[in-house]
Structure 1
């Protein structure tokens, strides 16, 4: 199939927009606006295939990548294969996709496909809200927002108004943007590079009178001057409004809360779901988005073809790396999913766990770190704190299984301890696990008192000796880790590497557990959904638990 890729212009919006709504997709990328806002930054080209699918080709800093095909769900496997062949045969590269929506990843069963590496992009998940809640701001959880809005109404009564914005307001919007750019907040300055491209994309949209029925814009005027504006688009198949741009003059307290509410009231009065995009990994932006009480998240993934030569050189996630560069300068935890970035924590690992230095740490970073998650913090260029989340499948006597995580290699540089860094790292770990809806996580502490304040409970003695016959494990224990082929492969290597190593465990090691998702735990354990956390911990303490020492 010949794919004729072209640079989309604002005049193409009406032609390509319907493709975005052909299949289920709750990400902000399920609308046409982001195509133009980020067109120049990611050198976006598109191709319309057979009048059935919209395909993407993007390039940044020499790297080619794509997006999930926009087409009907039944056509998704075919056009996914079309893009794979294009990358392999034309570009001579493995297919790589960023920001792949969860619906497409599941429809294609990519997580179960050994040909593909699928890695969640944690800091790029979109925040989803109830349309009714954001329009009405009712109830205790929106009390502060409602107060700010009402205070604004009182202070500027008779002086403010909401107006729908159209192409005739182009110069007004651009003039406001120039003023806003000079006064932007510190969080907004952290996105300096991308911000300029976002503004360029906005210029492109306004230049040719971006006309699309799903596209809506509105502004708050005070004394006749534009002081805030917002732009969004409706995804009709999800009845979801995606808010792409929101800028305001922060000298007017409450103006962001007002434009947020008024745009939805006037432009999206029937939208069930509001997507307010991701937080770019910025703590201030994350706090602001969480304060609006999201009802869920639209998860995104990097997808990389593994059965094509050179795929290992493509494992860096450029989107996450860019967020990491912003986080590095902000004393904020950063989620590492790329193996090259994970290796940057190896020096801290070997400093804090010197008994592992050498063959074990080399193997651990080469093998185990390929599918785990590392949360780290930096000071300048040095990693100063970290924790590893190592995945396992846990089973119980009733046949239930669940994905859980072992929190391992919790470490802070000696001179940086007692400064709150590990609290930030662990809270970020819990946030990740909450998003994954795991029933619980566990660790094997050197000292229990360190982890009790974080909600961990001693539930069982730890058995350091491995039981060689898995049938004996199943017969004699109520809860145990599934020993599949990959688990056994790693366990045998670990046993061999640890044979002559100094034992790092305390004299009487225990297993400590933190409940993450009570609903998931209830499903795994068989307890009722109204069980308390104490009920769940007590249930665990009554079980015979076997977790052998394996990272």
Structure 2
């Protein structure tokens, strides 16, 4: 096992010796973020063969994640050490926050061993600092108009450096802001605790901030710290929404007060919040920084991926997304031949207008084993399980253009051509890729039950 130690204030110089010289702009590698969110993620660090490694608890739970190792050269060479550390804790290796370059390093050195995916809600928005400072050109005209309206309506406004005597006013404004955004209570309460920790050690963490006053009232504040020598990370920005334009002007003026060495400003992720996404896009980021998750695959997942790619020809990104989000060994039936997976199918849990509905998905047989009756054997076992556990219905979508499959599935009680829609939180496409071809065949426990003209299936798994 690697000897990790908790991220402490006294570790800042050691950690920043790696991060400050790095080109990685990921906001999670800001020392201030590591320290301020310590209560949630329990971040710890170690140096492994010349690379800084950060280990943390994903979402504050039991699963361990490892940040992209930071150092000179190819970080993929220390992956076996991380894998052993994860295994020592009874877990698989999960690497979080990989850049495109980091993903390619690991993919090329550990061919086929990992599945990769970037969650759009967690990708960082990175801007040219001069764009935020100057708001140049026609595309920023709406922002300049917003600022002009604010300065005309509040001519007594002023920008001030964020100093300790103003921290209490910041917390009061944050509480007011949080009341308006109570739909995200858990995240915001955690953010409040991170703010308190940051304010308690503001100078020690190398943080800097600014605020806007109208008269004696603070109407906006922001602060952050460096990710590396040329990238600044904005950790927090809050404003009183009663003062139209407060967000726009604090954003601009704070950027102008940052040292010129910062050529990039990271304004972090949008968490999938639509309004926040629109606001961040309206400032025209120079890059939306991918932060890939890499999961080391178990042997059954590797076999599933191999067979899926061979039989369906789907892109690797699609197969990886399925494996990371929805695959479960307990929901797969398979037959092995010659030491490998020869045939498979997946029994996926949904709820529909028909009740508890199993979707038979990804039915595949390796080309060299077709004609041996393996799909028939799997379908018989699938239907036995479906009936045994009392499901109300089952469905499947035969491959478009393969009419013989309808006869094959008809032997197991499936019939019809009903349009079907799959509903998931992340919008994963469980269909064919073309909604017009998503025509399902159904088996029903009660054949007399009326089938809707279009079926809507809601994911019901964990």
Give TM class, smaller chain.
0.5 to 0.7
Residue of structure 1 aligned with 2:271, choices 272, 280, 284:
280
2:210 maps to which residue?
218
SS at match of 2:132: helix
Q: Which runs of 5+ in 2 are unaligned?
A: 304-320, 332-345, 366-396, 400-417, 439-462
TM-score normalised according to structure 2 size? 0.65
- Cα separation, partners in 2 of 1:37 and 1:101, compared to 1, 3 Å: farther
CA RMSD of aligned residues (A): 4.0
* Counterpart-to-counterpart distance in 2, 1:145 and 1:249: 17
Residue 205 (1) aligns with residue 198 (2):
yes
2:100 aligns with one of 102, 112, 120: 102
Residue in 2 that maps onto 1:174? 168
The alpha-carbon deviation at position 58 of structure 1 amounts to 2.6
Task: Give the C-alpha shift of residue 147 in structure 1.
Answer: 0.9
| 285, 288, 299: which one aligns with 2:290 | 299
Residue 110 of structure 1: CA displacement? 5.6
* Candidates 137, 151, 158, aligned match of 1:153: 151
Look at both structures and tell me which one has the larger radius of gyration over its CA atoms: 2
1:143 paired to 2:141: yes
**CA pair 111-37 structure 1, distance change in 2 beyond 3 A:** farther
Determine whether 1:71 maps to 2:71.
yes
Aligned with 1:347 (options 350, 371, 388): 350
Cα separation, 2, equivalents of 1:118 and 1:111: 14
Query: Higher strand share goes to which structure?
Result: 2
- TM-score scaled by length of structure 1: 0.55
Contact 1:304–1:311 (CA under 8 A) maintained in structure 2: no
Given that 2:53 and 2:66 are in contact with CA atoms closer than 8 Å, whether structure 1 keeps it comes out as no
Which residue of 2 is the match for residue 315 of structure 1? Answer: none
Closer, same or farther in 2 for the Cα pair 1:49/1:210, shift >3 Å?
farther
| 8 Å Cα contact 2:130/2:263 also seen in 1 | yes
Q: 1:202 to 1:11 in 2, by over 3 A?
A: farther
Give the paired residue count: 351
Return the alpha-carbon distance in structure 1 between the equivalents of residues 274 and 48 of structure 2.
Answer: 40
Deviation of 1:411 (Å): 4.5
Cα 1:363–1:84 shift into 2, 3 Å: same
Q: Report the alpha carbon displacement of residue 265 of structure 1 after superposing the two structures with TM.
A: 0.4
Which deviations, in whole Å up to 9, do the C-alpha atoms of 1:70-93 show, x marking residues without a partner? 22234x1233332122112x2132
What's the counterpart of residue 242 of structure 2? Answer: 251
Report deviation, 1:266: 0.3
Contact 2:223 2:234 in 1 (8 A): yes
Once residues 410 and 303 of structure 1 are traced to their aligned partners in structure 2, the CA distance between those partners, rounded to angstroms, is 35
Between the aligned partners of 2:109 and 2:226, the Cα distance in structure 1 is: 30
Alignment partner for residue 226 of structure 2, among 205, 219, 234? Answer: 234
Match of 1:55 in 2: 54
**Partners in 2 of 1:14 and 1:258 — Cα distance?**
33
Q: Distance in 1 between matches of 2:351 and 2:110?
A: 33
| Superposition map of 1:184-199 within 5 A | 184=178, 186=180, 188-199=181-192
Cα distance in 1, alignment partners of residues 120 and 103 from structure 2: 15
Change (3 A) 1:110 1:36: farther
Q: Deviations over 1:275-309 (max 9, x none)?
A: 21111011111111122122321011211111479
SS at match of 2:436: coil
1:26 matches 2:13: no
* 2: CA distance, partners of 1:286 / 1:209: 28
Residue number in structure 2 paired with 1:10 = 9
Specify the SS of the correspondent of 2:210.
strand
Does the C-alpha gap of structure 1 residues 442 and 304 become closer, same or farther in structure 2, counting only changes over 3 Å? closer
Mapped to 2, the partners of 1:139 and 1:445 lie a distance apart of: 43
Task: For 1:139 and 1:31, locate their aligned partners in 2 and report how far apart those are by CA, in whole Å.
Answer: 31
